[in-house]
Amino acid sequence: MGLKKSPSYRDYWSSSPEFRDSYISSLMPVKRFSWLLSNINLNDNAIMPKKGEAGYDKLYKLRPLLTELSQNFERCMNPTREVSIDESMIKYKSRSSLKQYLPKKPIKRGYKVWILANKNGYCQKFQIYTGKSEDTKKSLGARVVKYLLNGMEDKHHIVYFDNFFNSIQLLEDLKAKNLHACGTVNPNRKLLPNFTSDKALKRGKSQILTSNTNLVAIKWRDKRSVHLLSNFHDPTGFTDVERKNKNGVIEKVPCPIALIDYNQNMNFVDKFDQNLHVYKIDRKAFSSISSMQNLYIRLS
């Protein structure tokens, strides 16, 4: 159905030859498919822990499937040397305690999923965000990164992520596990050095600072200031990039290689979203139960 899309799933069983799909309609009757779509269960609801009880899980109804998918994704393809971590959204507009609102994303409302993607846009590992809890209010970004990179230690992978995840402590922890990491960073993060003010840096100028643990903190001035933190880049590495002046003249300005590297490798999750968009199947959902079914269909 992801390859051959129809206005309605019932069209695959249509008596009209231009809509009917002989392969899909031969698998089962339309009534059986409709029944499965409405009634499929993946876990035992009779023993589901209630809110406040030990083992309570907002994704309990889908947990066996999520575990199976995660294991299969890791097994089916080895990660490339470069990987990236970012958030992806599963579209959903009805009621759900899992629903998030991200105004800057193409899909603004839905389920938020943390994705570890390789260079081909393949999802190596994922984790669905279920909302804040007492044990995840602090260092949520670091917790997500460590969970998604679990099992990749001592293999010298290079991971890229944005300023939501990045911090001094996280990069030191990853470096100790032989994981190279690079990403933009919020200049207000704890333990970061004091950078020069924006007014003191002209376009194309940089400030490079290093720590005694070989971390590199970079501030590069373009139209706006960009802050970067890396645990493996050479602080002396620079290349030229072209920028247009106000008078329309193009000139070359020096730019840290770490920033070029980041821009070239941070889009793997975007590639994953593009691939997923081509084959996705939308299903309308109006309740918490159908919400779980909608999430199940999108993931599978």
> Tens digit of pLDDT per residue, the chain (300 long)?
888 888 889 999 999 999 999 999 999 999 999 998 888 888 998 999 998 899 899 999 999 999 999 999 999 999 999 999 999 998 888 888 889 998 888 889 999 999 999 999 999 999 999 987 655 557 899 999 999 999 999 999 999 999 999 999 999 999 999 999 999 999 999 899 999 998 888 888 999 999 999 999 999 999 899 999 999 999 999 999 998 888 888 999 999 999 999 999 999 999 999 988 887 776 654 444 444 545 555 555
Cβ–Cβ under 8 Å, residues 184 and 163:
yes
Angle at 251 between CA 233 and CA 229, to 5 degrees: 20
Q: What is the pLDDT of residue 290?
A: 47
**Cα dihedral value 11, 15, 18, 19, nearest 10:** 10
* pTM over cut 0.95: no
Q: What is the pLDDT of residue 203?
A: 87
List the domain boundaries for the chain: 9-39, 58-151+267-300, 163-265
Q: What are phi and psi of 164, to 5 degrees?
A: -65, -35
**CA 202 to chain centroid:** 34
Q: What is the pLDDT of residue 289?
A: 45
10 Å Cβ neighbour count for 116?
A: 28
